[in-house]
Amino acid sequence: MNEIFDGISSFLKSGKAISLKTPCYVIDEKKLEANGEILASVISHTGCRILLAQKAFSNYDFYPLLEKHISGTEASGLFEARLGKEEMPSKEVHVFCAAYRDDEFDELLNYADHIVFNSVNQLKRFGRKAKDCGKSIGLRINPEYSTQEGHEIYDPCAKGSRLGVTRSVWDKEMTAEVLELLDGLHFHTLCEQGSDALEITLKAVEEKFGDVLSQMKWLNMGGGHHITKSDYDVARLEKCINHAKEKWGVEVYLEPGEAVAINAGYLISRVLDVVENNGMKIAILDSSAACHMPDVIEMPYTPPLLDAVTDDSKPFRYRLGGPTCLSGDVIGDYSFDKELKAGDMLVFGDMAIYTTCKNNTFNGMPLPDIYRLDRNGDEEKLTCFGYSDFKQRLGRKK
Q: Which residues bind ligand PLP (CB under 6 A)?
A: 53, 55-56, 74, 96, 188, 191, 222-224, 255-259
For ligand PLP, the nearest residue by Cβ is: 223
196 vs 378, beta carbon nearer ligand PLP: 196
256 vs 304, beta carbon nearer ligand PLP: 256
User: Under a CB-based contact definition with an 8 Å cutoff, are residues 221 and 206 in contact?
Assistant: no
Q: Which burial class, exposed, middle or buried, applies to 20 when counting CB atoms under 10 A from its CB (0-12, 13-18, 19+)?
A: middle
Least Å from the CB of residue 256 to ligand PLP: 4
Least Å from the CB of residue 258 to ligand PLP: 4
- Round to whole Å and give the CA distance between 84 and 78: 10
**Angle separating helix axes 234-248 and 29-46, nearest 10 degrees:** 40
User: Under a CB-based contact definition with an 8 Å cutoff, are residues 307 and 1 in contact?
Assistant: no
Stated as kind and residue range, the H or E segment containing 53 is strand 49-53
3-state secondary structure 66-120: HCCCCCEEEECCHHHHHHHHHHCCCCEEEEECCCCCHHHHHHHHHHCCEEEECCH
35 vs 269, beta carbon nearer ligand PLP: 35
User: Under a CB-based contact definition with an 8 Å cutoff, are residues 118 and 163 in contact?
Assistant: yes
Least Å from the CB of residue 274 to ligand PLP: 35
83 vs 284, beta carbon nearer ligand PLP: 83
Q: Is 316 helix (H, G, I), strand (E, B) or coil?
A: strand
98 vs 179, beta carbon nearer ligand PLP: 98
Least Å from the CB of residue 110 to ligand PLP: 21
Least Å from the CB of residue 259 to ligand PLP: 6
226 vs 372, beta carbon nearer ligand PLP: 226
- Round to whole Å and give the CA distance between 350 and 338: 23
3 vs 295, beta carbon nearer ligand PLP: 295
- Round to whole Å and give the CA distance between 52 and 88: 10
Least Å from the CB of residue 212 to ligand PLP: 20
User: Under a CB-based contact definition with an 8 Å cutoff, are residues 367 and 389 in contact?
Assistant: yes
Q: Are strands 265-277 and 308-309 parallel, antiparallel or unpaired?
A: unpaired
